[in-house]
Structure 1
Amino acid sequence: MPYPAKLSPTAILEEARRQLEDGGAEALTMRTLAEALQVRPSSLYRHYPDRAALLAALEDHAVSALHTALVQASSDQSGRAALEAAAHAYLEYARVHPHLYGLLLAPKPPYVAGPGPGKDLWNFVLERVEAITGQRDDTAAAVAVWAFLHGFAVLERSGQFGASGPRGGFERGLSALIDGLSARRG
Structure 2
Amino acid sequence: MVYPAKLTPEAIFQAALDLLEGGGDGALNMRALAERLSVRPSSLYRHYPDRAALVAALEDHAALALHGALREASRDLPPGEALGAAAHAYLDYARAHPHLYGLMLAPRAPAPAGPGPGKDLWNHVLHLVGAVTGQPDDTGAAVAYWAFLHGYVQLERSGGFGLSGPRGGFERGLDALIRGLSPVLP
TM range (shorter): over 0.9
Question: Matches of 1:167 and 1:127 in 2, distance apart?
Answer: 30
Q: Deviations over 1:115-157 (max 9, x none)?
A: 1011100110011011101111110110010100111111111
Unaligned residue ranges in structure 2 (runs of 5+): none
Contact 1:3 1:43 in 2 (8 A): no
Question: Matches of 1:2 and 1:27 in 2, distance apart?
Answer: 21
Greater shift in the superposed pair: 51-60 or 164-173: 51-60
Quote the residue 1:56 is aligned against: 56
- What do you get for the CA RMSD once the two structures are aligned? 1.5
Contact 2:74 2:83 in 1 (8 A): yes
AA at the equivalent of 1:94: A
The alpha carbon displacement at 1:161 in A equals 0.5
The alpha carbon displacement at 1:51 in A equals 1.3
TM-score (norm 2): 0.94
AA at the equivalent of 2:112: V
The alpha carbon displacement at 1:5 in A equals 2.8
Unaligned residue ranges in structure 1 (runs of 5+): none
The alpha carbon displacement at 1:57 in A equals 1.3
Query: What aligned pairs does 1:14-163 form with structure 2 within 5 A after superposition?
Result: 14-163=14-163
Question: Matches of 2:24 and 2:77 in 1, distance apart?
Answer: 34
AA at the equivalent of 2:10: T
Q: For this pair of structures, how many residues does the alignment match? A: 185
- Provide the secondary structure at the position in 2 that maps to 1:89: helix
Please say if 1:171 is aligned against 2:182. Answer: no
AA at the equivalent of 2:90: Y
Question: Matches of 2:116 and 2:41 in 1, distance apart?
Answer: 28
Contact 2:2 2:37 in 1 (8 A): no
- Provide the secondary structure at the position in 2 that maps to 1:183: coil
The alpha carbon displacement at 1:63 in A equals 1.1
User: Percent identity between the aligned chains?
Assistant: 71
Q: Deviations over 1:33-63 (max 9, x none)?
A: 1111121111101111111221121111111
The alpha carbon displacement at 1:78 in A equals 2.6
State the 4+ residue runs in structure 1 displaced beyond 6 angstroms.
none
